[in-house]
């Protein structure tokens, strides 16, 4: 096996992990912007915490899909054709989110803005849910025949483990977004973001523990958890403790580690498979039988080694530039100017001259 094959599997795992760590808090803000923002000005402020960042974060998803297509075309073909309807729903949810960001402020009408607020919330829930279901299906197994063709229906994708994986990622994104808004907002919004994090943190930790145990039982033959699985559980429990201790920065770091460990666990337990066949384990797709030719992988490796550091540096610079907290007062409409009313002068009787006022009188 070419040494580039495992390298590109690692690259794809890193891209998916980076997508969820960065876009995960975008999803969380989208879910919570109505609850934390409360009124129109607050919702606008909540959205602006991710305004300069969300579209750049979504690029990680595009690059992850492109890397799968280029490095493992067999995997890409089976996955995207078998999950065609789910992928269409995912694309629709991402489009709705993007349109909501851009169109919400185009009209100064309450009903118009409420409609796009609902669209933003729904899209932010559906996207991590659908991606989580897809990742869960890869590991748990789908009906795939000897020709590497998916033979099931849309409903076969909604198996219990996959749905549980999707719900877990939604909850982790929700907590990730709440801790992010705690860092990026001030005053009453800051406190509401903290309150939202406290409400969702225990449930999120419970689902993460359940997901890790279920994943370990499904994919591993050993009794003890591996290091990444254990890290996911510890990070989730740490996030709960830090949220209640009001340590916003450390809590956000803990949620980032939690979501990263969950995604890495999926890819780590999946390897060397890329899609498990529930029809016959011999029909499973692996890194060996779905990879591109060695020369293609070598050429792609040169490109990624040159350009990936540049992209990471640019994105880090973007986060540095837009590091300032967002306040509701930044979006309050300006107060109308006040016009000074001159004091009335005493009336002068007709025909009487006005005596000028001399200095000192």
C-alpha triplet 12, 289, 68: angle, nearest 5°: 25
- Is 121 a domain residue? yes
**Cβ(285)–Cβ(144) below 8 Å:** yes
- Is 24 a domain residue? yes
- Is 225 a domain residue? no
Average pLDDT of span 287-314:
90
Is the pLDDT higher at 323 or at 18?
18
For residues 270 and 174, give the distance between their C-alpha atoms in angstroms, rounded to a whole number.
26
Is the pLDDT higher at 347 or at 14?
14
CA 171 to chain centre: 11
| pLDDT digits 0-9 by tens, 225-276 | 899 999 999 999 999 999 999 999 999 999 999 999 999 999 999 999 999 9
* Residue 271: exposure state from Cβ atoms within 10 A (0-12, 13-18, ≥19): middle
- Is 37 a domain residue? yes
pTM here?
0.88
First to last CA, the chain: 104
For residues 193 and 327, give the distance between their C-alpha atoms in angstroms, rounded to a whole number.
13
- Is 211 a domain residue? no
For residues 299 and 8, give the distance between their C-alpha atoms in angstroms, rounded to a whole number.
12
The pLDDT of residue 106: 85
The pLDDT of residue 347: 57
| pLDDT digits 0-9 by tens, 40-52 | 888 888 898 998 8
For residues 131 and 112, give the distance between their C-alpha atoms in angstroms, rounded to a whole number.
29
Residue 44 half-sphere exposure, CB side, CA atoms within 13 Å?
16
Average pLDDT of span 12-22:
95
In angstroms, what CA-CA distances link 91 with 16, 94, 103, 127, 304?
16, 5, 18, 8, 26
Q: Is the pLDDT of residue 213 over 90?
A: yes
User: Domain limits at 108?
Assistant: 4-195+262-325
Average pLDDT of span 325-334:
72
Going by pLDDT thresholds of 50, 70 and 90, the confidence category of residue 21 is: very high
Q: Is the pLDDT of residue 126 over 60?
A: yes
Is the pLDDT higher at 328 or at 209?
209
Sign for the CA dihedral angle at 78, 79, 80, 83 comes to positive
Look up residue 191 and give its two tokens.
Answer: 């406190």
The pLDDT of residue 197: 95
For the ranges 97-101, 188-192, 235-239, 313-317, the maximum mean pLDDT occurs at: 235-239
Q: Is the pLDDT of residue 351 over 60?
A: no
Backbone angles phi, psi at 277, to 5 degrees: -95, 125
For residues 220 and 226, give the distance between their C-alpha atoms in angstroms, rounded to a whole number.
9
- Is 47 a domain residue? yes
- Is 287 a domain residue? yes
| pLDDT digits 0-9 by tens, 156-172 | 999 999 999 999 999 99
3-state SS, one letter per residue, for the chain? CCCHHHHHHHHHHHHHHHHHHHHHHHHHHHHHHHHHHCCHHHHHHHHHCCCCCHHHHHHHHHHHHHHHHHHCHHHHHHHHHHCHHHHHHHHHHHHHHHHHHHHHHHCCCHHHHHHHHHHHHHHHHHHHHHHHHHHHHHHHCECECCCCCECCCHHHHCCHHHHHHHHHHHHHHHHHHHHHHHHHECHHHHHHHHHHHHHHHHHHHHHHHHHHHHHHHHHCCCCCCCHHHHHHHHHHHHHHHHHHCCCHHHHHHHHHHHHHHHHHHHHHHHCCEEECECCCHHHCEECCCCCCCHHHHHHHHHHHHHHHHHHHHHHHHHHHHCCCCECHHHHCCCCCCCCCCCCCCCCCCCCCCCCCCCCCC
- Is 330 a domain residue? no
Share of the chain above pLDDT 90, in %: 67
Look up residue 245 and give its two tokens.
Answer: 């201790």
The pLDDT of residue 361: 44
| pLDDT digits 0-9 by tens, 50-109 | 988 888 888 899 999 999 999 999 999 999 999 999 999 999 999 999 899 888 888 888
Q: Is the pLDDT of residue 39 over 80?
A: yes
**Cβ(169)–Cβ(259) below 8 Å:** yes
Q: How many domains, the chain?
A: 1
For residues 204 and 209, give the distance between their C-alpha atoms in angstroms, rounded to a whole number.
9
Q: Largest Cα–Cα distance of the chain, in whole Å?
A: 116
Q: What is the mean pLDDT of the chain?
A: 89
Going by pLDDT thresholds of 50, 70 and 90, the confidence category of residue 3 is: confident
């Amino acid at each position: 096996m070419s040494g580039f094959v495992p390298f590109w599997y690692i690259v794809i795992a890193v891209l998916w992990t980076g997508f969820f760590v960065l876009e995960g808090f975008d999803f969380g803000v989208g879910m919570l912007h109505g609850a934390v923002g409360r009124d129109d000005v607050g919702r606008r402020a909540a959205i602006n915490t991710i305004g300069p960042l969300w579209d750049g974060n979504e690029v990680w998803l595009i690059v992850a899909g492109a890397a799968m297509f280029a490095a493992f075309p067999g995997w890409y073909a089976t996955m995207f054709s078998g999950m065609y309807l789910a992928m269409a729903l995912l694309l629709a949810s991402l489009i709705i989110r993007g349109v909501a960001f851009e169109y919400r402020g185009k009209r100064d009408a309450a009903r118009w803005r409420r409609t796009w607020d609902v669209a933003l919330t729904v899209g932010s829930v559906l996207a991590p849910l659908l991606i989580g279901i897809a990742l869960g299906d890869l590991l748990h197994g789908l009906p795939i025949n000897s020709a590497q063709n998916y033979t099931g229906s849309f409903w076969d994708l909604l198996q219990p483990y996959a749905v549980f994986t999707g719900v877990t990622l939604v909850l982790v994104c929700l907590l990730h977004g709440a801790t992010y808004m705690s860092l990026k907002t001030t005053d009453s919004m800051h406190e509401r973001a903290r309150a939202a994090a406290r409400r969702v943190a225990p449930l999120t930790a419970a689902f993460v523990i359940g997901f890790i145990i279920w994943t370990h039982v499904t994919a591993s033959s050993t009794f003890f958890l591996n290091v990444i699985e254990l890290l996911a559980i510890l990070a989730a429990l740490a996030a709960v403790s830090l949220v209640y201790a009001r340590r916003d920065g450390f809590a956000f770091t803990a949620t980032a580690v939690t979501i990263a460990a969950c995604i890495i666990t999926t890819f780590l337990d999946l390897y060397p498979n890329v899609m498990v066949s529930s029809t016959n384990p011999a029909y499973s797709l692996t890194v060996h039988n779905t990879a591109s030719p060695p020369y293609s992988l070598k050429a792609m490796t040169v490109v990624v080694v040159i350009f990936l550091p540049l992209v990471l540096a640019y994105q880090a610079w973007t986060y540095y530039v837009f590091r300032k907290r967002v306040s509701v007062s930044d979006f309050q409409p300006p107060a109308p100017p006040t016009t000074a009313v001159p004091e009335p002068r005493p009336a002068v009787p007709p025909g009487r001259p006005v005596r000028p006022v001399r200095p000192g009188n």
